[in-house]
Amino acid sequence: MPTVLITGANRGLGLEFARQYRAAGWQVIATCREPGAAAELQALRTGASGFELQPLDVADFATIDALAARLAGGPIDVLLNNAGVFGPKPGAERDARQSFGSMDYGIWAEVLRVNLMAPMKMAEAFVENVAASTQKKIVAISSTEGSSPNAKGGIYAYRTSKAALNMLMQNLAPDLAPRGIATAAFCPGWIRTRMGGEHAPLEAPPSIAGLRRVIDGLTTANSGRFWLWNGQPLPW
C-alpha cells in the first residue's frame, strides 16, 4: 500500500486529496495545525484503516522536525506540499498590502516562509522516508500567479512565493535524481475553495483527480517541471 503525506489537509484542496487518496486505498498521513478541530478529517479517519492524522504547522519548523522524528523509518511515496497562504484577507486592504508603494514586508516574510521555505524544509526532513519508498515523489501545489506570463503587477508576496517555489522544485530535481526521487510543481486551476472564492469556475474533485493522474505519471525523466492539473506543461 503506497503512502502519501499531505500538508494543510484540513480544508480545500488538501482535504480533497485526503478523500481521494483514502478512497484509492492509500495509506494517508493527513497533517494540519489543529487536528482536534478538523471535523472533516476526523470523519475520514473514522472506520478507516491506514488513515493517520498528525499535528503540523509548516510555519513552525520545530513541528516539522518533530513529525519527521515520529515518522522516522516509514516510507512515504508522495510527499505532497499542499499548505499555502495568500497573505491578507481578500479586499482592498489585501491588495494594498501586496502592492508597490504600500508593501507589507511582514506579510511578505510570512508568505515566503509558508509557501517557499516550508516545502524545502519538508523535503530535507522527509527525504529519507521518500527515498525508502517505491514511488519516490516530492510535489508542491503552486499557481500560475507565479508564472511569468501572469506578471501583471501587484500581489507581490503571493506571486513571488509561487515563482520561487517553481524554481525550488526544479532545482530539487537534479539534486534528488541520484536517489531516484522525482519532483514537480502543480497548478490546480482556479478552484472554488476558501482561498479561491465562490466565483472560481472549477470544483475541487475533478482538479484533484487530474492532479493525481499527473502525479502518477511523474518520473525522474520528467522531473522538475511545472504542470497544470490536466497534464498540460506550464511556462513560468
63-74 pLDDT, tens digit each: 999 999 999 999
Q: Name, of 37-41, 77-81, 101-105, the range with top average pLDDT.
A: 77-81
41-55, 58-72, 122-136, 165-179: segment of lowest average pLDDT:
41-55
Mean predicted lDDT score pLDDT of the chain:
91
User: Which residue blocks in 136-222 are alpha helix, DSSP H?
Assistant: 156-176, 204-216
pLDDT band at 115 (very low <50, low <70, confident <90, very high): very high
User: Which residue blocks in 98-232 are alpha helix, DSSP H?
Assistant: 105-112, 118-131, 156-176, 204-216
Quickly tell me which residue has 508568505 as its cell: 111
Long-range own/partner contacts, residues 213-216 (CB < 8 A, 24 or more apart): 214/184, 214/186, 215/78, 215/80, 215/137, 215/139, 215/184, 215/186
Query: Would you state the pLDDT for residue 94?
Result: 59
Q: Name, of 7-11, 103-107, 189-193, the range with top average pLDDT.
A: 7-11
User: Roughly how many angstroms between the first and final C-alpha of the chain, as a whole number?
Assistant: 35
CATH fold for domain 3-228 = Rossmann fold (3.40.50)
> Which residue has better confidence, 133 or 199?
133
pLDDT band at 98 (very low <50, low <70, confident <90, very high): confident
Joined together, the cell numbers standing for residue 99 give 502592492
Query: Would you state the pLDDT for residue 197?
Result: 55
Query: What average pLDDT does this structure show over 126-139?
Result: 98
The enclosing H or E element of 31 equals strand 27-32
Query: Would you state the pLDDT for residue 198?
Result: 61
pLDDT band at 95 (very low <50, low <70, confident <90, very high): low
Query: Would you state the pLDDT for residue 183?
Result: 98
pLDDT band at 200 (very low <50, low <70, confident <90, very high): low
38 close to 14: Cβ distance less than 8 angstroms = no
Say how far apart CA 189 and CA 181 lie, in whole Å. 25
The helix/strand/coil state of 220 is: helix
Query: What average pLDDT does this structure show over 29-44?
Result: 95
